[in-house]
Amino acid sequence: MNLIIDVGNTRIKTAVFDNSKLIHNESITKESFVSEVIDTIKKYQCTNAIISSVGSLKKSEIAKLHAEINLIELDYNTKVPFVNKYATPKTLGVDRIALVSSAISKYANKNVLIIDAGTCITYDYVNNEGVYYGGAISLGLQMRYKALNVFTEKLPLLEPSEKFELVGNSTETSIHSGVINGVINEIDGIINQYRKKNADLTVVLTGGDVNFLSNRLKNSIFANPNFLLEGLNTILTYNIL
């Protein structure tokens, strides 16, 4: 069994894979991180693990996991199943490395655009020869709402709303219109730009806001909330075989 640990900006996710089949996943808190991971290792008899962290973990916590299981700490030196043409590979986020690896595994020999809509919105492009070139980083939904509140004197902090219109008729509805329509049109616009260069483009949407956004886009996409976890499992398998 493979154990996957994804430490994001706002939460920690763990998953267990039996080969390529996802059999368990959950979100855990940083306070109980080590104890819960060790419980998962024992419960599912995991033998190999990989950890991807864009957040912060103590070295002592990582050391405790190394004592329990064969653990790979994902970084720019880790062997991956694609050719990395990113100009600054040392600065490439481990989450983006995992997403590209997932695309290579699931959509071999295809041009793929991966959109991860979470704290940030990232765009990553890998071509049909397995070469990764890069993409873009933008503000996620929550970050846009917070920015309007933090950088102004009077605009309130709101949460994404299921109901929004093009024309807001109050301050709150205007904020919802600007943020949500802005994100939707940004994503659709970038997909359109990539499709002009790649007629056979496959687009995958993932991340914490995948369910909120997937049915609101005009473009055809594959929605997969577990795409990053699957990519981490791909990297782990690639390194232990």
> pLDDT digit string (tens) for 182-217?
999 999 999 999 999 998 999 999 999 999 999 999
pLDDT digits (tens, 9 = 90+) for 164-180: 999 999 999 999 999 99
pLDDT value, residue 24: 95
Determine the length of the chain. 241
Whether 74 contacts 232, CB under 8 Å: yes
Query: Is 95 tagged catalytic?
Result: yes
Query: Which entry of 6, 39, 95, 188 is annotated as an active-site residue?
Result: 95
pTM, full prediction: 0.92
Whether 215 contacts 187, CB under 8 Å: no
In this chain, the answer to whether the domains covering 1-73 and 78-241 adopt an identical fold is yes
pLDDT value, residue 59: 85
Mean pLDDT of the chain: 94
pLDDT band, very low/low/confident/very high, at 241 (cuts 50, 70, 90): confident
Asked whether residue 55 carries a pLDDT value surpassing 80, the answer given is: no
Label the pairing between strands 112-117 and 21-28.
unpaired
Which one is the CATH code of 78-241: 3.30.420.40, 1.10.4080.10, 1.10.3720.10, 3.40.50.300? 3.30.420.40
Beta-bridged to residue 36, according to DSSP, are none
- The CATH number assigned to the domain with range 1-73 reads 3.30.420.40
- Average pLDDT (132-147) is 97
**CA 71, 75, 76, 81 torsion-angle sign:** positive
pLDDT digits (tens, 9 = 90+) for 80-100: 999 999 999 999 999 999 999
Percent above pLDDT 90 for the chain:
87
Q: Which of 50, 59, 68 is nearest to 14 (CA)?
A: 50
Whether 113 contacts 205, CB under 8 Å: no
pLDDT value, residue 206: 97
Sketch the domain layout of the chain as residue ranges.
1-73, 78-241
